């Protein structure tokens, strides 16, 4: 008896066609030059100190390594993935946050991906949420792979970490992919009534609901920083559909950091280098 066919997301075939025309075909036409130049770009380790009066004092000075949009597949293969993991490990963060789009197209890529991500360690854990690309092909496989690798997938859920002494720990929440502001708000409500200290969400639009609830720090990706940006202002980029595209945003005591990510879905970055963000959170 043959195994049942694995269901794929509605956008899988569309994404596969896009991948062929915008990634694979240009790479073949240029005999691999575009891909080689793309993956040769060094990672920018972006160190930021962010302050909030709402951040728990027991975790003042916490260092968070923020990685997003790995897009493991044609453009980011095993060698580049190993470089990413080595760079994150060198940061020696207290907590590691991976905010979605771990694979580019297929969940079949995930065993090799998680064999590397399993090498990541942090005192308070390595947390993962899914992005839109992770939903193209059997997201349950991605979640299971993350859990088996010792990572902590958060699917509209939250957990406390680092509790000791007189404090109850840092409340970390993570929401699954949603393309809209109302959808992100709904998913955040599913995480519980307590206000998280740290929210992980692939879509930066989650910051609208997070700021309304007073979440001190939200970490997101998804935009790739536009991939093509002006040198003078990285927020002048190719992402026209959102006002939250790159870098640090503030509203009252709530903060958002949108990283450029380490991967891409077409082989060109201009004034928008692949990035590993290191956030040091401080109380005001």
Q: CA angle at residue 50 from 127 to 274, to 5 degrees?
A: 60
Complete domains list, the chain, with CATH: 12-282 (3.60.21.10)
In terms of Cβ atoms closer than 10 Å to its own Cβ (0-12, 13-18, 19+), residue 29 is: exposed
* Mean pLDDT across 7-28: 80
The pLDDT value given to residue 164: 80
User: Rounded to a whole number, what is the largest CA-CA distance in the chain?
Assistant: 63
Has residue 2 got a pLDDT over 60?
Answer: no
The pLDDT value given to residue 242: 76
- Percent of the chain surpassing pLDDT 90: 69
pLDDT confidence tier of residue 121, bands split at 50, 70 and 90: very high
* Cα-Cα-Cα-Cα dihedral sign, residues 141, 142, 144, 149: positive
Could you tell me if 240 and 228 are in contact, meaning their C-beta atoms sit under 8 angstroms apart?
A: no
pTM exceeds 0.85: yes
Least confident range of 5-9, 114-118, 236-240: 5-9
Task: Tell me how long the chain is.
Answer: 284
User: Which position has the higher pLDDT, 11 or 60?
Assistant: 60
Has residue 59 got a pLDDT over 90?
Answer: yes
In whole angstroms, what is the distance from residue 106 CA to residue 104 CA? 7
Could you tell me if 66 and 99 are in contact, meaning their C-beta atoms sit under 8 angstroms apart?
A: yes
Q: Which of 246, 241, 244 minimizes the C-alpha distance to 229? A: 246
The pLDDT value given to residue 4: 43
* Mean pLDDT across 91-114: 95
| Averaged pLDDT score across all residues of the chain | 91
In whole angstroms, what is the distance from residue 245 CA to residue 234 CA? 9
* H or E stretch covering 255: strand 254-258
In whole angstroms, what is the distance from residue 145 CA to residue 113 CA? 9
- Of these ranges, 28-37, 75-84, 142-151, 256-265, the one predicted with the greatest mean pLDDT is 142-151
- Percent of the chain surpassing pLDDT 70: 94
Least confident range of 107-111, 184-188, 193-197, 262-266: 262-266
Could you tell me if 142 and 114 are in contact, meaning their C-beta atoms sit under 8 angstroms apart?
A: no
Has residue 87 got a pLDDT over 50?
Answer: yes
The pLDDT value given to residue 237: 64
Q: Which of 122, 53, 97 minimizes the C-alpha distance to 278? A: 97
Least confident range of 55-64, 70-79, 181-190, 237-246: 237-246
* Mean pLDDT across 238-267: 89
In terms of Cβ atoms closer than 10 Å to its own Cβ (0-12, 13-18, 19+), residue 49 is: exposed
In whole angstroms, what is the distance from residue 154 CA to residue 23 CA? 30
């Amino acid at each position: 008896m043959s195994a049942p066919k694995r269901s794929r997301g509605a956008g899988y075939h569309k994404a596969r066609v896009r991948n062929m025309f915008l990634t694979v075909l240009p790479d073949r036409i240029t005999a691999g030059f575009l891909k080689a130049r793309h993956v040769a770009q060094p990672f920018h380790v972006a160190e930021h100190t962010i302050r909030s009066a709402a951040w728990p004092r027991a975790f003042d000075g916490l260092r968070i390594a923020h990685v997003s949009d790995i897009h493991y597949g044609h453009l980011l293969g095993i060698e580049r993935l190993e470089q990413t993991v080595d760079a994150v490990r060198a940061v020696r963060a207290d907590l590691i946050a991976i905010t979605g789009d771990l694979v580019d197209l297929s969940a079949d890529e995930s065993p090799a991906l998680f064999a590397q991500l399993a090498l990541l360690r942090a005192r308070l854990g390595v947390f993962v949420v899914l992005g839109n690309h992770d939903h193209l092909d059997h997201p349950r496989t991605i979640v299971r792979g993350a859990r088996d690798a010792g990572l902590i997938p958060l699917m509209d859920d939250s957990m406390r970490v680092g509790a000791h002494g007189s404090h109850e720990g840092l409340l970390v929440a993570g929401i699954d992919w949603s393309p809209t502001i109302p959808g992100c708000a709904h998913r955040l409500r599913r995480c519980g009534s307590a206000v998280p200290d740290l929210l992980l969400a692939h879509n930066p639009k989650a910051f609208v609901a997070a700021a309304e609830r007073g979440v001190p720090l939200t970490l997101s990706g998804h935009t790739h920083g536009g991939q093509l940006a002006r040198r003078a202002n990285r927020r002048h980029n190719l992402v026209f559909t959102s006002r939250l595209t790159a870098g640090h945003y503030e509203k009252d005591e709530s903060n958002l950091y949108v990283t450029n990510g380490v991967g891409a879905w077409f082989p060109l970055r201009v004034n928008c280098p692949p990035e590993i963000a290191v956030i040091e959170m401080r109380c005001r």
